[in-house]
Amino acid sequence: MNAVELFAGAGGLALGTAAAGFRHVAVVEWDKDSCETIRDNQARGLKIVDGWPVHSLDVRSFDYTPLQGKVDLIAGGPPCQPFSIGGKARGQDDSRNMFPEMIRAVRELAPQAVIVENVKGLTRRSFSTFFSYITLQLRHPELVRKSAESWQDHLARLERYHVKGKRDGLEYRLIWRLLNAADYGVPQRRERVIFVAIRSDIGREWSFPEPTHTLDSLLYDQWASGDYWDRHEVAKRSRPACPPRFKSRVAKLAFLGKDESLAWHTVRDAISDLPDPHKTSLSAKVLNHRLQPGARSYPGHTGSPLDEPAKTLKAGDHGVPGGENMLLQPDGEVRYFTVRESARLQSFPDDYHFHGSWTETMRQLGNAVPVDLAKTVASSLHDFLLKASGGKESR
């Protein structure tokens, strides 16, 4: 099945959909460094990105005509800054709001399914009306906003159209969820809104994959059984005490026993086998594993503890945010995550190389969709579409 990837960035969502079985017929991204990251990996012979047609341009100028009738999936994460809690949160009034371009692609290509990713901030009460506007546009992409029509008037027209009886034309069934990447095995607490729209003529039901990893299982492994520390060969005298906020919860878990869920993955799980970046003779042998000096802790920016999933990696409007992209070591010292460590926290493959300066590569990673989260959602959707077609690839 064929896919078009919009707002591809360094390729996190695209890698996930490719790993799920979709073939990319267009990968669109305006940022030159992000495009060079993908092209570098193509030049290095990385199989998963082989043959991706990378288009380094503004999505507003992309012509979908040659792809019409050839696309099963559109996936993309429109720029999140208009809705980010860490940004200025101008929403629909922000010039970077690219949801209209996502809708245009759906309208012109009429794929079987659509995946859209964005930040948790989009679900805030202050954006509730615009959130409804986005969902209705995805459901009815052919009901286009008129040149002299405000978005509020367009919303009202969409609402009237949506509640009336029989409708003609292109239509999608849409569901969304706020997913935490840690719940799917990514070593990072990263909450993102995922929309999935399925064309209405595909008459089968689909639902989001259920979480596979839990905090409770991690707490059990750490403080009830001790298996976590044994696995990492941490001597008993060096193991930290159970945090007070978890003591009653751990006591209950110890009494009930561990359930079938897997444990959240921690920073230690993700990076413990990498060489210490202070030891440059060893770290230089690993792609993008160079220590960046200058990390410092201050209130509200204290780094990610080693034995928990990382805090959400962020891109930042003006360089790399401090605390969100730092490791808090057991001795209380902090340092920046290397690019390779950050790539691990975003579940990128180890042989995936990032192009650009440290600041630029960290921005690419802070904007990325965790590869494993993307793969989980896209694999479920791929299997669903394959069954809906009677087990035959449609393209």
Give catalytic residues, as residue numbers: 80
Query: How many CB atoms sit inside 10 A of residue 387's CB?
Result: 11
CA distance 3 to 394: 12
- Counting Cα atoms < 13 Å in the Cβ hemisphere of 127 gives 21
Q: Which residues contact 335 (CB under 8 A, 6 or more apart)?
A: 277, 291, 295, 326, 327, 329
Q: Write the CA distances from 87 to 119, 122, 316, integer angstroms.
A: 11, 12, 8
CA distance 380 to 254: 34
375: Cα separation from own chain's centroid: 10
The sheet with strand 334-336 has its strands ordered as 304-305, 326-328, 334-336
Exposure string of 171-210, with b = 16+ CB inside 10 Å and e = fewer, is: bbbbebeebbbbbbbbbbbbebbbbbbbbeeeeeebeeee
CA distance 395 to 392: 9
Contact 341, 289 (CB under 8 A): yes
Burial group, residue 391, by CB count within 10 angstroms (0-12, 13-18, 19+) = exposed
Contact 180, 190 (CB under 8 A): yes
CA distance 262 to 322: 31
Q: Give the three-class secondary structure for 113.
A: strand
Burial group, residue 65, by CB count within 10 angstroms (0-12, 13-18, 19+) = exposed
Closest CA to 136 of 107, 109, 161: 161
